[in-house]
C-alpha cells in the first residue's frame, strides 16, 4: 500500500509532479454560487485538489471560488478536461485556451482527454504534449481510456500519460487495467466511487461502516486510497465535504480490502469507453 498520511498527502506522478490523492469533484455542481461555495468550503477544510471539465460548464465558478479563498494558487492542484466535440490538434489547443480563460488561470496542473474519441484522441494527445512542453500544464493525462486506448496512444507518444481517470468502485475494479497502469507509471484515478449513490443502500457497506464507526462514503473513499487510486468525491454541501475528508484516522484491514475487491462484477453505472456516443 502506498503511504497515506493526511488530506494534503500526494502521490508522485511519472514526471515527478506531486498530485494530491484526495480532491473535490464538481460534476453536476451548478455554476455560480453553488460551485463557488463548494470550492471555498473544500479549500477551507484542507482540500488542495479541484477537478472540473469544460463540459461541466462551471469552470468560471471554480475559478471564482479559487480567487475568493485565501489559499495561494500554487498550493491548489487544478484539473480540467477537453471535451469530445473539441478533440483534434488545433481545436484542443483552442479548447485549452478557453478553459484557462474561464478559470482565469495562467496554467493548469493537469489536463485530461475526457473520452477516447475514435480517430481523434491521438491528435488530441499530440496537442496536450505541445502544451506540456510549453509548460502551460504541469501534467497531462486521459480519462476513460481502456488498455488498448492507452497502448494506441503510447505507440507514437513522446510523453506517457501521467493519469488515467476511470469509473472505479467495488462493482468495477478492473484490476488488470489497474495493474497495466501501474506497470506503465500511469496514476489511476476514480470517478463515481459511490456508484451514483447506489452504494448507500447495500447491506455489506453498512456492515463495514458499523465495524469501523465510519460512514459508507468514508469506507469507500478509504478503499480507493488503499488501492493506490486518487479519488475526487463530489458534493455541494459543506458538512458532507468535511465528512468525506475524515478518512485519515483509520485503515481498512487487508481482509476488508480484499472483500471489497471481491464484489467486482464488471458493472458500469456510466458509459462504456468502448461504446459511447457524446
Q: Is 112 helix (H, G, I), strand (E, B) or coil?
A: strand
Burial of 260 (0-12, 13-18, 19+ CB in 10 A): buried
Looking at 21, 27, 47, 56, which residue is catalytic?
A: 56
Q: Is 56 a catalytic residue?
A: yes
For 230, the grid coordinates are: 486518487
Q: In what order do the strands lie in the sheet with 24-25?
A: 24-25, 49-51, 77-82, 110-113, 140-143, 163-167, 187-191, 230-231
Rounded-to-integer distance, Cα 8 and Cα 178, Å: 23
Rounded-to-integer distance, Cα 195 and Cα 56, Å: 19
For residue 272, the 8-state DSSP code is B
For the four alpha carbons of 236, 238, 240 and 246, in that order, the dihedral sign comes to positive
Rounded-to-integer distance, Cα 66 and Cα 71, Å: 8
What CA–CA distances, in Å, run from 45 to 13, 114, 233? 24, 28, 14
Rounded-to-integer distance, Cα 70 and Cα 44, Å: 8
Alpha helix segments (H runs only) across 2-120 = 33-45, 59-68, 89-103
Rounded-to-integer distance, Cα 148 and Cα 255, Å: 32
Show which residues are catalytic: 56
Amino acid at each position: 500500500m502506498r503511504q497515506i498520511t493526511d488530506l494534503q498527502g500526494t502521490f508522485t506522478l511519472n514526471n515527478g509532479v506531486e498530485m494530491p490523492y484526495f480532491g473535490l469533484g464538481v460534476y453536476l455542481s451548478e455554476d455560480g454560487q453553488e460551485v463557488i461555495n463548494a470550492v471555498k468550503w473544500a479549500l477551507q477544510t484542507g482540500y488542495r485538489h479541484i477537478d472540473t471539465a469544460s463540459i461541466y460548464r462551471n469552470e468560471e465558478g471554480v475559478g471564482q471560488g479559487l480567487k475568493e479563498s485565501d489559499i495561494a494558487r500554487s498550493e491548489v492542484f487544478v484539473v480540467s478536461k477537453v471535451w469530445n466535440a473539441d478533440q483534434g490538434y488545433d481545436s484542443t489547443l483552442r479548447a485549452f485556451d478557453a478553459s484557462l480563460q474561464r478559470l482565469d488561470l495562467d496554467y493548469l496542473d493537469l489536463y485530461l482527454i475526457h473520452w477516447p474519441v475514435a480517430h481523434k484522441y491521438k491528435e488530441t494527445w499530440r496537442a496536450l504534449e505541445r502544451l506540456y512542453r510549453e509548460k502551460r500544464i504541469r501534467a497531462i493525462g486521459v480519462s476513460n481510456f481502456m488498455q488498448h486506448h492507452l497502448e494506441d496512444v503510447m505507440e507514437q507518444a513522446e510523453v506517457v500519460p501521467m493519469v488515467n481517470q476511470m469509473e472505479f468502485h467495488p462493482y468495477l475494479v478492473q484490476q488488470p487495467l489497474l495493474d497495466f497502469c501501474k506497470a506503465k507509471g500511469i496514476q489511476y484515478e476514480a470517478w463515481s466511487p459511490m456508484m451514483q449513490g447506489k452504494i448507500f443502500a447495500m447491506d455489506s457497506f453498512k456492515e463495514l461502516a458499523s465495524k469501523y464507526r465510519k460512514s459508507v462514503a468514508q469506507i469507500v473513499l478509504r478503499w480507493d486510497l488503499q488501492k493506490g487510486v486518487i479519488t475526487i468525491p463530489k458534493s455541494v454541501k459543506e458538512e458532507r465535504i468535511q465528512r468525506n475528508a475524515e478518512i485519515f484516522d483509520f485503515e481498512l484491514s487487508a481482509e476488508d480490502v480484499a472483500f471489497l475487491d471481491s464484489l467486482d462484477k464488471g458493472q458500469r453505472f456510466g458509459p462504456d469507453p468502448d461504446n459511447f456516443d457524446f
